Amino acid sequence: MKKKLTGFLVGSMALVLAACGGADDAPATDEPVDEGAATGEVQTIRAGIGLNSEHPQYKGLERFAEIVEENTNGELVVETYHSGQLGDDRSMMEALQLGSQEVTVPSTAPIANFVSEFTIFDFPFLFPSNEVADEVLDGEVGQQFLDMLDDQNLVGLAYWENGFRNVTNSTRAIETLEDFDGLTLRTMENDLHLDAFRALGANPTPMAFTELFTAMQQGTVDGQENPNATIYLEGYYEVQDYVSDTRHVYSPFVFLMSKPFFDSLSEEHQQIVRDAAIEAGQFQRELNREANAEYVNNLEEEGMTVTQISDEERERMVEAVQPAIEKYAERIGEDLVNEVYEAIEAAQE
Ligand code: KDG
């Protein structure tokens, strides 16, 4: 009920803002306005992300822009922004809800603050591989979660990839469960991540991605956790000494579009942006996998100590986070959680 009310209020806010001219591109009426097809005027898509211009997430956004501009003959123009130029994940998602930005591509973790069911995609050790994640996310189960975004004035067009997350810190090598003890680790703004790292013995602190490098540089946190591509391309080796191959969460990105903007597009343009998000996502996943595999060597070359986690120690970590998983599984609901687990099992057959 609360979510429905929120979605209604946000939708109304977009209309109010549009009526006062406070939000670009949002329709001034409550009926989707077919601006592009009717007038042939150029419509602009402002697409912002948190990672920098070297990251596969931005390369994917550039590919999305190329496809859309080509297939609409320039009727849709995409402006791409990186490194949090338009804000952090939460503020960019709120901008999409209000129609003052059109696209962002956050991890599922911050999305869970808008649609709590997305928490399941941050269950530690949920996906065993990239391939299984692709099959589940790109199938019926993944679409079921994307459909839940509509109530938040957001349209989920495709899953992209952040990847398997590893822990870095400036205090000690993490090889055993006990090595987490007392480490102050930045986590994404997501309650499950906080509970999971508490269960591992760490002292987690939630923080927007845009503040992370400075926090490590100033010693506000001992460490953080992200995929290798982010650790290398954001230069974390400059402020971190250790990286451990924990692979504790497979983190999807979700390509989000503002629902007020999406509804303002012609049916033809809606299909074009949907197809472009999917095609650019396949391209981004490939680049991301190469980067996450390759950059662990670069991290070592930059002086970081790279630590592997033995199967036995990973089993102990899996055991330690079970209470956190059970707590959120109960909140999400047994049926939906079982659907995801069954889809994962089926994808492994
Ligand atoms: O915009 C990019 C962020 O959504 C992504 O990097 C989030 O992995 C993330 C983190 O650690 O905040």
What is residue 158's predicted lDDT score, i.e. its pLDDT? 98
Our answer on whether the CB atom of 229 is closer than 6 Å to any ligand 1 atom is no
Mean pLDDT over 293-305 rounds to 97
Which residue type does 111 have? Answer: I
Our answer on whether the CB atom of 233 is closer than 6 Å to any ligand 1 atom is no
Our answer on whether the CB atom of 252 is closer than 6 Å to any ligand 1 atom is no
Tell me the two tokens of residue 195: 């509970």
CA of 25 to the centre of ligand 1 (A): 27
Q: Which of 58, 86, 165, 209 to mutate to test the pocket of ligand 1 (most atoms within 8 A of CB)?
A: 209
What is d(CA 10, CA 285) in angstroms, rounded to the nearest whole number? 32
CA of 41 to the centre of ligand 1 (A): 34
What is residue 126's predicted lDDT score, i.e. its pLDDT? 98
Q: What angle do CA 144, 101, 154 make, to 5 degrees?
A: 15
Is 50 exceeded by the pLDDT of residue 330?
yes
What is residue 39's predicted lDDT score, i.e. its pLDDT? 57
Q: Which of 51, 165, 185 to mutate to test the pocket of ligand 1 (most atoms within 8 A of CB)?
A: 51
Relative to the CA of 225, which ligand 1 atom is closest? 11
For residue 121, what is the DSSP state? G
Residue 52 near residue 58 (C-beta atoms within 8 A): yes
Our answer on whether the CB atom of 56 is closer than 6 Å to any ligand 1 atom is no
Tell me the two tokens of residue 35: 């601006």
Mean pLDDT over 157-173 rounds to 98
CA of 227 to the centre of ligand 1 (A): 10
Is 70 exceeded by the pLDDT of residue 14?
no
Neighbours of 79 (CB within 10 A): 14
Model confidence over 84-114: pLDDT tens digits?
999 999 999 999 999 999 999 999 999 999 9
What is residue 10's predicted lDDT score, i.e. its pLDDT? 45
Residue 40 confidence class, pLDDT cut points 50, 70, 90: low
Sheet of 154-164: strand order equals 76-81, 43-48, 103-104, 250-258, 154-164
Superfamily of domain covering 41-347: Bacterial extracellular solute-binding protein, family 7 (3.40.190.170)
CA of 51 to the centre of ligand 1 (A): 7
Sequence ranges of the domains in the chain: 41-347
Which residue type does 11 have? Answer: G
